[in-house]
Structure 1
Amino acid sequence: VELGALFSVVNIPHINQVHLFYRARLLDTGFSAGLETLETALFAEQEVPWQELAFQSVTLCLRAYFSDRRAGRFMFHEDDLRPATAGA
């Protein structure tokens, strides 16, 4: 992976977490699940299994990424997840 710019910060204060997401380029398609990942796969935007994503922070980041890509420019995003909106 070739790491790019910081893309999104998601604050989750009720569990004392901050999730950082960077844009990056995949240099090698030889990837696999690891210690904290059960499955890995690459999806086109229309194929993303939104209801199966484990973390709402990932959903927020991916939606922002696809929106920015359609707009032809990538911006920095910051969100706060509160208990009523936080996912698993």
Structure 2
Amino acid sequence: MKKLSTTQDLLFHDMNQGRNIFKRYWKSSSLPACERNRNRPDISYRRDRVLLELLHIEFLASIERVSVYSDETLRKAYEDLGLPNPHTA
């Protein structure tokens, strides 16, 4: 397997691997559909924990970018209007 460099790559391969495991289980099981679904394997890998942590870091970074942009936009709007900024009090 190639070296995965982005969270998008990790997420794509994680979803594909989970889907392949589920399909293999679903085709090989002779249980009725409702029992097959109830007894399906819990798919969890170390990569899932790493992926969740990377997604969390990206999510926090995007929140930071939005908040910085919002703060700058608010500050500039208050300055343009000549009003005191209540957020800096």
Q: TM-score range by the shorter chain?
A: under 0.3
* TM-score, normalising length: structure 1: 0.27
* TM-score, normalising length: structure 2: 0.27
Q: Decide which structure has greater helix share.
A: 2
Q: Decide which structure has greater strand share.
A: 1
Q: Highest CA radius of gyration, 1 or 2?
A: 2
